[in-house]
Amino acid sequence: MTDPRSEIDAYGVVGNPVSHSLSPKIHKLFAAQSDQPISYEALEIKIDEFASSLARLQQQNYLGLNVTVPFKQQAWQLCNQRTSRAELAGAVNTLLLSPNGGLTGDNTDGIGLVRDLVKNRQVPIKDQKILILGAGGAVRGILAPILAENPNQVIIANRTVEKAQTLADDFGNLGEISVSAYTKIEPIKFDLVINGTAAGLSNELPPIPEEVLSMNTICYDLMYNIQANTTFVDWALKQGVTKAFDGLGMLIEQAAESFRLWRGVNVDTQAVARSLRNA
């Protein structure tokens, strides 16, 4: 473990579980690429000890932390300052710590997704018909940046329709959102279908009707797997779509935005993506 009192600036990702996290690899690649003298570690925090662990890390001079499941909402509550995108998302995935006890929270997940779609993959959002599956924390984080791109239509389908309705109510001032049960999704061909459910974690698919896809529909799974296609990507390709992506690009882009906030430098995310996929 790096001694956080050393000359090297200390960063990390906090979560539970967190040992599977790719963030240490990604940030170490960013640091090497940009000659930034930092350490970055995965730090597992006990479920009921988030606030006290954060205070301890702050005392140990950690300068920044990424926050992952299940602490993003708690991190949001503990911040004494939040960016407007964190405010909207109701969750924080990036913390800036100052030694005097200041805690600033940001949420870079949504901008990470939009950059991966629009910049890396040339997938437009503007004027597109978009179907979003799921209404959990990740979807809450991506809605504002998606609506900022002016899509033609956004429908959120979720098992628990009330949760989708809450999102539509909370974000309705930023753009029009409709909600639907899976069995009642409007039978049109969508331009973009985003899987924001956690179904893939148990190798399941959300119950999406295949009629919403044409071969030109682009499918994007927030979940990622560097070894094989995710369940959703696999399913989409079997339905005949020509473009289906997993969320590794989003993960790298959200990390790059955290790195920029902490270190003030931009990094080459594509080089990191190649390095991870080829590893």
Stretch that binds ligand NDP, among 15-23, 99-107, 157-165, 263-271 (CB under 6 A): 157-165
Question: For residues 216-235, which are near ligand NDP according to CB under 6 A?
Answer: 222-224
Least distance to ligand NDP, CB of residue 70, Å: 9
Compute the chain's Rg from CA coordinates: 19
Tokens at residue 95, please?
């913390």
Q: Which of 50, 141, 162, 51 is nearest to 87 (CA)?
A: 141
254 near ligand NDP (CB under 6 A): yes
DSSP secondary structure string, 96-136?
EE-TTS-EEEE--HHHHHHIIIIIIS----TT-EEEEE--S
Instruction: Centre a 10 Å sphere on the Cβ of residue 226 and count the other Cβ atoms it contains.
Output: 13
> Judged by CB, which is closer to ligand NDP: 36, or 254?
254
Least distance to ligand NDP, CB of residue 1, Å: 25
Number of alpha carbons in the 13 Å side-chain half-sphere of residue 95 = 36
Question: For residues 191-210, which are near ligand NDP according to CB under 6 A?
Answer: 196-201, 204, 206
Query: What is the distance between the terminal CA atoms of the chain, rounded to a whole angstrom?
Result: 23
Stretch that binds ligand NDP, among 16-24, 30-38, 249-257, 266-274 (CB under 6 A): 249-257
> Judged by CB, which is closer to ligand NDP: 39, or 108?
108
26 near ligand NDP (CB under 6 A): no
> Judged by CB, which is closer to ligand NDP: 3, or 204?
204
Report which DSSP code applies to 247: T
Instruction: Centre a 10 Å sphere on the Cβ of residue 123 and count the other Cβ atoms it contains.
Output: 17
163 near ligand NDP (CB under 6 A): yes
Choose, from 72, 129, 189, 238, the residue flagged as catalytic.
Answer: 72
Look up 28 and say whether it is catalytic.
no
Instruction: Select the residue interacting with ligand NDP from 128, 158, 217, 269 (CB under 6 A).
Output: 158
Q: Which residues contact 49 (CB under 8 A, 6 or more apart)?
A: none
Q: Which of 38, 31, 145 is nearest to 83 (CA)?
A: 145
Instruction: Select the residue interacting with ligand NDP from 9, 41, 106, 109 (CB under 6 A).
Output: 109
Supply the residues annotated as catalytic.
72
Interface contacts to ligand NDP, rule CB under 6 A: 109, 112, 134-139, 158-160, 163, 196-201, 204, 206, 222-224, 247, 250-251, 254
